[in-house]
């Protein structure tokens, strides 16, 4: 096995191989973005990395390296125990740091001498990002998107999940962003993925597709803080447009399921951002209703007064309209219609 490989070589030559990526960067770096599926075994914690970086910039490279070697040496035994466990589960362990420098370069030769099939990712995370930036636009070129549009609460995301469960290729952009794309879009989801992590997850989703016909939910250019790349957004605009409609009762129930699960404080925080659109009187009333756990009136008014009007001005043409009350049944109807009306690209 090679001691060092580019990410491109790994994709080409190790598709069927049993390997795992090990990110040896600090927890803060790992939490921000990493290679999907990687695990974090940091050489330096956040404070140690910051200290070494400060010494590197303000004092000397030599002193920073000495501190780094001392810190890393003290941690080798516990790192080795973790690596040994992974070595029993995987054929190859692929280590990476930010640029393929000190951190991964110091570990890989050591573990190889101990009989572990350790590989260093050439150029580290930076090299991986270069590959994503080059490869993702090329992948998108080959895809025809079927785009699901519909007002808030019509269950588009659930329909995508049902399609995926039935073996259909889908791209869940909101899942990749960990955000639903509206002012209330982060409620109950936690921290949004960074732009780099968003793009990595889009790549992972599209590279594993079985066909070149991919279903996706219609989105604006921005999903929370993440931006859909221009080439992907344009490909979606040139896709096949389907419209999803649902009764108000179904829409309310969908929103209740997705947003209301011990999230009152987040809902109230998000509602405060809508004061300039809906006025203090309405927002204060909504907050009181939420405090009383009376959610349905709030959801209905938000849809009729805020969300629905946002969609009324588009002139988009749809190839077909589906009325959805149950996402699983709608997915079946979409598959049947697609097989009859859309030639495979």
* Residue 122 shares a structural domain with residue 161: no
Q: Is the pLDDT of residue 240 over 90?
A: yes
Q: Is 41 helix (H, G, I), strand (E, B) or coil?
A: coil
Query: How many domains, in total, are found in the chain?
Result: 2
Same-domain pairing of 278 and 302: yes
Q: What range does the domain containing 41 cover?
A: 4-131
The gap from C-alpha 301 to its chain's centroid, in whole angstroms, comes to 30
Chosen domain end from 131, 155, 176 = 131
Q: Tell me, yes or no, whether 136 lies in a domain.
A: no
Q: Are residues 126 and 152 in the same domain?
A: no
Structure-token match 């101990």, residue found: 114
Residue ending a domain, among 103, 131, 159, is 131
| Residue indicated by tokens 């899942």 | 175
Asked if 250 contacts 258 with a C-beta cutoff of 8 angstroms, the reply is no
Sign of CA dihedral 81, 86, 91, 94: negative
pTM for the complete prediction? Answer: 0.90
Predicted confidence at residue 145, as pLDDT, reads 97
Q: Are residues 207 and 122 in the same domain?
A: no
Predicted pLDDT at 13: 75
Residue 274 has pLDDT above 80, yes or no: yes
Regarding whether 249 and 322 lie in a shared domain, the answer is: yes
- Do 127 and 174 fall into the same domain? no
Q: Are strands 4-5 and 240-245 parallel, antiparallel or unpaired?
A: unpaired
Residue 186 and residue 309 share a domain: yes
Same domain, 234 and 334: yes
How far apart (Å, rounded) are the C-alpha atoms in residues 175 and 189?
Answer: 10
Mean pLDDT, residues 102-112 = 89
* CB contact at 8 A, 180 and 135: no
**CB-side exposure of 101: number of CA atoms within 13 Å?**
7
336 pLDDT band, cuts 50/70/90, is: very high
Which stretch of 26-40, 160-174, 258-272, 307-321 has the lowest confidence by average pLDDT?
307-321
- Strand, helix or coil at 170? strand
Closest Cα to residue 246, out of 149, 338, 337, 155? 155
Whole-number pLDDT of residue 71 = 86
Answer yes or no: do 177 and 111 share one domain. Answer: no
The pLDDT confidence band at residue 16, using thresholds 50, 70 and 90, is low
Residues 322 and 228 in one domain: yes
Domain boundary among 131, 158, 177: 131
pLDDT in tens, 127-146: 999 999 999 999 999 999 99
Sign of CA dihedral 259, 263, 269, 271: positive
Q: Which of 68-72, 148-152, 307-311 shows the highest mean pLDDT?
A: 148-152
Q: What b/e string do you get for 5-24 counting C-beta neighbours within 10 Å, with b at 16 or more?
A: bbbeebeeebeeeebebbbb
- Phi–psi pair at 150, nearest 5 degrees: 165, 155
Residue 99 has pLDDT above 60, yes or no: yes
The pairing of strands 226-227 and 222-223 is: antiparallel
CATH number of residue 205's parent domain: 3.40.50
For residue 137, being part of any structural domain is answered with no
Q: What is the mean pLDDT of residues 85-98?
A: 93
Residues 121 and 18 in one domain: yes
- What is the four-CA torsion angle of 135, 137, 143, 146, rounded to 10 degrees? 130
The proportion of the chain whose per-residue pLDDT surpasses 70, expressed as a percent, equals: 98
pLDDT in tens, 168-221: 999 999 999 998 877 777 777 788 999 999 999 999 999 989 999 999 999 889
CA-based radius of gyration for the chain: 24
More confidently predicted of 18 and 79: 79
Q: What angle do CA 179, 231, 124 make, to 5 degrees?
A: 70
Find out whether 239 and 146 touch, Cβ atoms under 8 Å: yes
Q: Where are the beta strands (DSSP E) in the chain?
A: 4-5, 19-23, 39-40, 92-96, 118-121, 144-149, 170-171, 213-217, 222-223, 226-227, 240-245, 320-323
pLDDT in tens, 289-333: 999 999 999 999 999 999 888 777 777 889 999 999 999 999 999
Measured distance CA(46)–CA(40) in Å, rounded: 13
Residue among 280, 320, 303 nearest 148 (CA): 320
How does 218-255 read in b/e, with b if 16+ C-beta sit within 10 Å?
A: bbeeebbebbbbeebbebbeebbbbbbebeeebbbbbb
Residues 82 and 148 in one domain: no
pLDDT of residue 102: 81
d(CA 37, CA 96): 13
pLDDT bin (cut points 50, 70, 90) of residue 244 is very high
């Amino acid at each position: 096995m090679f001691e060092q490989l580019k990410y491109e070589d790994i994709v080409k030559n190790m598709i069927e191989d049993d390997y795992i990526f090990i990110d040896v960067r600090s927890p803060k770096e790992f939490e921000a973005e990493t290679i999907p599926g990687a695990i974090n075994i940091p050489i330096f914690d956040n404070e140690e990395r910051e200290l070494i970086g400060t010494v590197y910039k303000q004092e000397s490279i030599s002193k920073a390296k000495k501190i780094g070697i001392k810190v890393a040496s003290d941690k080798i035994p516990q790192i080795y125990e973790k690596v040994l466990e992974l070595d029993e589960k995987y054929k190859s362990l692929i280590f990476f740091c930010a640029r393929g420098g000190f951190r991964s370069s110091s570990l890989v030769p050591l573990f190889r001498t101990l009989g572990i099939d350790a590989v260093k990712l050439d150029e580290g995370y930076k090299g991986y990002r270069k590959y994503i930036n080059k490869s993702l636009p090329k992948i998108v070129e080959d895809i025809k998107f079927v785009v699901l549009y519909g007002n808030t609460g019509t269950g588009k995301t659930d329909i995508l999940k049902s399609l995926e469960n039935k073996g259909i290729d889908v791209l869940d952009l909101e899942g990749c962003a960990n955000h639903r794309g509206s002012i209330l879009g982060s409620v109950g989801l936690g921290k949004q993925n960074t732009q780099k992590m968003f793009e990595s997850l889009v790549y992972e989703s599209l590279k594993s597709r079985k066909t070149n016909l991919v279903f996706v939910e219609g989105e604006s250019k921005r999903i929370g803080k993440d931006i859909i790349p221009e080439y992907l957004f344009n490909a979606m605009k040139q896709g096949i447009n389907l419209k999803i409609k649902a009764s108000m009762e179904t829409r309310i129930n969908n929103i209740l399921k997705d947003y209301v699960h011990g999230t009152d404080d987040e809902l109230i925080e998000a509602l405060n951002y809508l004061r300039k659109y809906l006025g203090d009187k309405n927002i204060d009333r909504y907050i009181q209703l939420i405090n009383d756990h009376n959610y349905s009136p709030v959801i209905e008014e938000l849809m009729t007064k805020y969300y629905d009007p946002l969609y009324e001005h588009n002139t988009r043409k749809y190839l077909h309209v589906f009325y959805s009350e149950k996402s699983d049944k709608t997915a079946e109807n979409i598959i049947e219609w697609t097989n009859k009306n859309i030639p495979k690209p």
